[in-house]
Amino acid sequence: MPRIKFADVRFPDPNAPSVFDIEHRLKQHPINFREKMGKCKPDNQISDRDRRNILRKDSSLQGCGFP
């Protein structure tokens, strides 16, 4: 008697997000992005320490062939 071939069954990864989770994340992303954009500091509110660090890094890169 020949053997019966069974279907090649692949079970989904149990840690994979569901369709609902993916759709929820995609809908929530623009909302979170807008909220974060409202909380960003404009350039004129950078702390003096951060501004000095940026200027120091810029000046050190100028001798390395960077504009």
Q: Angle at Cα 65 formed by Cα 63 and Cα 67, nearest 5°?
A: 95
Give residue-wise pLDDT tens across range 3-62. 777 777 788 888 988 999 999 988 898 888 888 777 766 666 777 888 888 888 777 666
Q: What is the pLDDT of residue 65?
A: 56
Please give the C-alpha separations between residue 66 and each of 16, 35, 42, 60, in angstroms, as whole numbers: 44, 35, 26, 9
Q: What is the pLDDT of residue 44?
A: 63
Q: What pTM does this model have? A: 0.36
Q: Which of 49, 50, 67 is nearest to 58 (CA)?
A: 67
Q: What is the pLDDT of residue 33?
A: 82
Count CB-CB contacts under 10 A for residue 65: 6
Q: What is the pLDDT of residue 3?
A: 76
